[in-house]
């Protein structure tokens, strides 16, 4: 089957795929892409994707024989799932293998926000300790109440870690989880107004766009902290900047942004914000596990027509 690579792959994965399958590589938008799709589009059976946008109905229409999209990542908000479903195109992702690493990142962001570890580091490096004396007091994580927006694999991994800090956990999902030991909140707003820290761990995509809006952020309040390890689109970034600038939020820890890698200058200028360059799953072990699962999905589909970790099951015959 002809394979089309969309987006940049991890070097290790790219090398293996190139050796085994010699995939076609989709050019950037423009005339070259149009010529490429006109020539090669009718022969493409599988897309191997890694981040980026544009896996939409327009691209699928240019690939009339496309059967499956193998995505190197847990999130599939870069793929128009509704369009894929209408065309019978299968979609896979890499769940589970990155939950622990991203949950570790969430704890790191929480500690850096509440204890102001980044500011403390700069305080020493800039020579201010010698001239200004004692660094200002910060906040304790231990004993805090933490709300988790999206208690799936990732949200549960975050909650498990927070229990070691004697935190009280609450959560909001579209539906209550039977048997969960954590308090359920009926809405994102209700969750926000009852916690010290709100951790965004929900899936991205149109269904959760700006789920954390001005109302939710206002409910979190001037003593509250927002931590986002999900997708930048889940949070109303403009409202977040406004409330942080006006001291109507205590702080934020962000690994994701609305228009990556472009982070608003107003956000970068704030001292009550910790900013990471989307490194939640960026460890050698985790990225290797993601690459291995991506290859398993690709090889399984090519061999049997079945995906190992399907988000959508393929309906076209391989």
Q: How sure is the predictor about 12, in pLDDT bands with cuts at 50, 70 and 90?
A: confident
Provide the pLDDT for residue 178.
95
Residue 131 lies in a domain: yes
* pLDDT higher than threshold 70 for residue 317: no
Say yes or no: 290 and 270 in one domain: no
Provide the pLDDT for residue 53.
75
Say yes or no: 149 and 259 in one domain: yes
Average pLDDT, integer, range 27-50: 95
Reported in sequence order, the residue ranges of the chain that DSSP labels E, i.e. its strands, are 2-6, 24-25, 44-49, 68-71, 90-92, 145-149, 168-172, 183-184, 197-200, 225-228, 251-254, 273-275, 310-312
Scan for tokens 């499956």, then name that residue: 68
Cα(197)–Cα(237) distance, integer angstroms: 17
The whole domain housing 80 covers 2-97+285-312
Q: How sure is the predictor about 170, in pLDDT bands with cuts at 50, 70 and 90?
A: very high
Q: Which of 1-5, 124-128, 208-212, 247-251 has the lowest mean pLDDT?
A: 1-5
Provide the pLDDT for residue 302.
95
Which of 260, 285, 313, 315 is labelled catalytic?
Answer: 260
Residue 164 lies in a domain: yes
* pLDDT higher than threshold 70 for residue 1: no
Residue 317 lies in a domain: no
Average pLDDT, integer, range 25-34: 93
Provide the pLDDT for residue 130.
97
Say yes or no: 203 and 261 in one domain: yes
Q: Are the beta carbons of 291 and 45 closer than 8 angstroms? A: no
Indicate the number of domains in the chain.
2
Say yes or no: 202 and 269 in one domain: yes
Residue 32 lies in a domain: yes
Residue 173, CB-side half-sphere exposure with 13 Å CA sphere: 15
Q: Which of 17-26, 45-54, 190-199, 232-241 has the lowest mean pLDDT?
A: 45-54
Q: Which residue has the higher pLDDT, 15 or 192?
A: 192
* pLDDT higher than threshold 80 for residue 168: yes
| SS3 state of residue 94 | coil
What average pLDDT does the structure give for the chain? 95
pTM of the predicted model as reported, rounded to 2 decimal places: 0.93
Question: Does the active-site annotation cover 231?
Answer: yes
Which of 87, 115, 161, 278 is labelled catalytic?
Answer: 278
Residue 280 lies in a domain: no
Residue 134 lies in a domain: yes
Which of 116, 172, 189, 231 is labelled catalytic?
Answer: 231
* pLDDT higher than threshold 80 for residue 51: no
Say yes or no: 134 and 11 in one domain: no
Say yes or no: 93 and 103 in one domain: no
**68-88 per-position pLDDT tens digit:** 999 999 999 999 999 999 999
Q: How sure is the predictor about 110, in pLDDT bands with cuts at 50, 70 and 90?
A: very high
Say yes or no: 44 and 109 in one domain: no
Average pLDDT, integer, range 228-248: 98
C-alpha triplet 286, 75, 268: angle, nearest 5°:
85
* pLDDT higher than threshold 70 for residue 279: yes
Which residues lie closer than 8 Å to 98 by C-beta, 6 or more apart? 74, 280, 281, 286, 289, 290
Cα(273)–Cα(243) distance, integer angstroms: 12
Provide the pLDDT for residue 10.
85
Say yes or no: 231 and 208 in one domain: yes
Question: Does the active-site annotation cover 288?
Answer: no
Q: How sure is the predictor about 318, in pLDDT bands with cuts at 50, 70 and 90?
A: low
Residue 318 lies in a domain: no
Q: How sure is the predictor about 98, in pLDDT bands with cuts at 50, 70 and 90?
A: very high
Say yes or no: 196 and 305 in one domain: no
CATH number of the domain at 57, please. Answer: 3.40.50.720
DSSP string for 36-55: HHHHHGGGEEEEEE-S-S-B
Say yes or no: 127 and 270 in one domain: yes
Say yes or no: 11 and 33 in one domain: yes
Say yes or no: 108 and 201 in one domain: yes
Q: Which residue has the higher pLDDT, 54 or 169?
A: 169
Provide the pLDDT for residue 11.
87
**127-138 per-position pLDDT tens digit:** 999 999 999 999
Which residues lie closer than 8 Å to 78 by C-beta, 6 or more apart? 49, 51, 52, 53, 55, 71
Question: Does the active-site annotation cover 260?
Answer: yes
Average pLDDT, integer, range 146-166: 98
């Amino acid at each position: 089957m002809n394979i089309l690579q969309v987006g940049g792959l991890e070097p290790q994965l790219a090398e293996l795929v190139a050796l085994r399958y010699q995939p076609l590589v989709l050019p950037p938008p423009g005339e070259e892409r149009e010529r490429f799709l006109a020539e090669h589009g009718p022969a493409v059976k599988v897309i191997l994707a890694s981040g980026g946008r544009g896996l939409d109905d327009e691209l699928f229409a240019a690939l009339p024989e496309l059967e499956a999209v193998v995505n190197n990542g847990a999130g599939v908000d870069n793929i128009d799932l509704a369009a894929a479903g209408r065309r019978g195109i299968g979609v896979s992702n890499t769940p589970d293998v990155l939950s622990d690493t991203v949950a570790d990142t969430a704890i790191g962001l929480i500690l850096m926000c509440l204890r102001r570890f980044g500011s403390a580091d700069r305080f020493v490096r800039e020579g201010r300790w010698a001239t200004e004396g004692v660094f200002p007091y910060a906040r304790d994580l231990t004993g805090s109440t933490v709300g988790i927006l999206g208690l799936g694999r990732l949200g549960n991994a975050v909650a498990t870690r927070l229990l070691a800090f004697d935190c009280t956990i609450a959560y909001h999902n579209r539906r209550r989880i039977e048997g969960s030991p954590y308090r359920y909140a009926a809405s994102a707003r209700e969750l926000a107004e009852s916690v010290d820290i709100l951790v965004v761990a929900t899936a991205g995509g149109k269904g959760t766009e700006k789920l954390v809006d001005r109302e939710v952020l206002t409910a979190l309040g001037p003593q509250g902290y927002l931590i986002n390890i999900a997708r930048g689109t889940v949070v109303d970034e403009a409202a977040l900047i406004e409330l942080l600038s006006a001291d109507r939020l205590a702080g934020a820890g962000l690994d994701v942004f609305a228009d990556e890698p472009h982070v608003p200058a107003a956000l970068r200028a704030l001292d009550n914000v910790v900013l990471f360059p989307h490194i939640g799953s960026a460890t050698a072990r985790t990225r290797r596990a993601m690459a291995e699962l991506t290859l398993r999905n690709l090889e399984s589909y090519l061999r049997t027509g079945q995906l190992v970790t399907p988000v959508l099951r393929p309906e076209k015959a391989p």
